[in-house]
Amino acid sequence: MLTAAASVGAHIIGWADDWEVSGATDPMTRPSLGPWLRDERGPYDGLVAAAVDRLGRNVVDCLNTGYKMRDEKKMLVTYGHDGAWDLDDPADENRFTMEAWGAQMELRAIQRRNRDATVKTRAAGRPKGKPSYGFRYVRTVMGGKIDHVELHPHASQVIREVARRILADPDDVTPSSEAARLNRAGELSPADHLAVMYGKPAGGRPWSPQSLKNILLSEATLGYLMHRNKPVLSREDGNPVKLCEGLWDRATHEALKTAVSNRKATWIRRSNREYLLTNVALCGQCHTRLYTQTSNDVPPRYTCTARNKGWLQSQHCRPAPLIYAHLLDAYVEEWFLRELGDGLIYETVYDPGNGIAERIAETRANRERLRADREAGLYDARTTPPGSGTGTPRWDANWPRWKPNPRGHPVWSGGLRARRSPTGGFAHRTYKPARRSCSTSVCG
Ligand SMILES: [Zn+2]
């Protein structure tokens, strides 16, 4: 460029170095060149570029930049062209257009090649792009092809723990509370985890409830190859391509979906203090909630503040009750243990079961997906030529059809056969009597 500049007797007053953004970005918005073109960097006499294709990502951008220079009576110089471009001269204008067109064709060819490679990789059932949280790619050669996918030893534990906590108490444990917990614990967020995994510094980005929710609800957690948030289907059998064992099974996936998506916000304000009777103790006179009072010299007290607030229902609450917290706590604890200490404790436990529920859930999910695809008009022909389009399943062989059998019960016919299983639910609810050793299993 110095040679090109010197050849027209010019000297460089500023560099616009946009190595990182490549020619594929609009010149007006490029971080270094943009301010010059928008006349924010002061006056200049012309623009020197290594080649015409550095001026824009397509013919329109190159010509826009070129004509802008011409209209503003500025010089435009590129290496390999003698002197400045004169776009008023038809021969020069044609040559400039041709070079810009060549650049555009080259860029399109590169884009197509990348796209083709991505499609080919996906069709072959191999992963591309970044691994989903909880998984990692294993390559036999550094920088080489991905050999296989496996669970990330640490991240998979983190996300499994989140799922376990949410399933155990879906009312109180939510993606928001879990994101906050992970942030407090200093756990690397998915983006940071990815950066560290690939040897880059962590950016200190926090966990966000939404991204945690997306991870939990994605079918990528089942170990599937994904494309645009949907599992990629195998060309051979039309089933989703599985890359790796999942973080959890289909039954857990469905349970998580119910727990996370169907959650209704509770409107009870929760205290983060450790007082035993917050929200529990009521005033004996006006039946409003007791509040805790704290001060430096006296231990904490429960008291009724409703009259002080001017609530009509509490206007006769005088004298308002006031009691040391430790006294009331001890009294209530003693009463509670006397009355309810021997009661049974019921606990919901998620049990992976015998695998039949898992298979039914998997088949059901497949059926729903195929049905949705058919309703969307993806398959209108009876048979689809094999291999037409990405991941199109062989329609004729695999689509199960309902047929009544002689006894009047519908059975599956076609590629799949489903039998009624004695265990239909996703989870077994186990009732554990406290202080007893036996436990019974009941279908949930
Ligand atoms: Zn009161």
CA of 285 to the centre of ligand 1 (A): 5
Q: Tokens for 372, please give them.
A: 């949705």
What CATH class does 2-122 carry? alpha beta
Highest mean pLDDT among 16-25, 294-303, 356-365, 371-380: 294-303
CA of 276 to the centre of ligand 1 (A): 19
Least confident of 42-46, 209-213, 377-381: 377-381
For residue 49, give the 3-state DSSP assignment. Answer: strand
Answer left, alpha or beta for residue 239, where phi above 0 means left and psi between -120 and 50 means alpha. Answer: beta
CA of 164 to the centre of ligand 1 (A): 42
CA of 298 to the centre of ligand 1 (A): 21
pLDDT given for residue 303 in this prediction: 92
CA of 289 to the centre of ligand 1 (A): 8
Burial class from Cβ neighbours inside 10 Å (0-12, 13-18, 19+) for residue 321 reads middle
CA of 306 to the centre of ligand 1 (A): 6
CA of 3 to the centre of ligand 1 (A): 90
208, HSE (Cβ side, Cα atoms, 13 Å):
6
| pLDDT tens-digit series, residues 52-83 | 877 777 788 888 888 888 888 888 888 878 77
Burial class from Cβ neighbours inside 10 Å (0-12, 13-18, 19+) for residue 377 reads exposed
CA of 266 to the centre of ligand 1 (A): 26
CA of 304 to the centre of ligand 1 (A): 5
CA of 282 to the centre of ligand 1 (A): 8
Domain boundaries, the chain: 2-122, 135-261, 291-340, 344-444
Of residues 335 and 340, the one with the higher pLDDT is 335
Residues 98, 100, 106, 107, Cα dihedral to 10°:
-160
pLDDT given for residue 425 in this prediction: 41
CA of 301 to the centre of ligand 1 (A): 14
Highest mean pLDDT among 161-170, 234-243, 428-437: 161-170
Q: Would you say 202 and 196 are in contact if contact means Cβ atoms under 8 Å apart?
A: yes
CA of 315 to the centre of ligand 1 (A): 9
Q: What is the largest CA-CA distance in the chain?
A: 102
**Predicted confidence (pLDDT) at residue 397 exceeds the cutoff of 70:** no
pLDDT given for residue 327 in this prediction: 93
Cα 172 to Cα 162: distance, rounded to the nearest angstrom: 13
CA of 339 to the centre of ligand 1 (A): 26
Which of the listed CATH numbers 3.40.50.720, 3.90.1750.20, 3.40.50.300, 3.40.50.1370 matches domain 135-261? 3.90.1750.20
CA of 278 to the centre of ligand 1 (A): 15
| pLDDT tens-digit series, residues 235-288 | 777 788 888 888 988 888 988 988 888 766 666 666 667 788 877 889 989 988
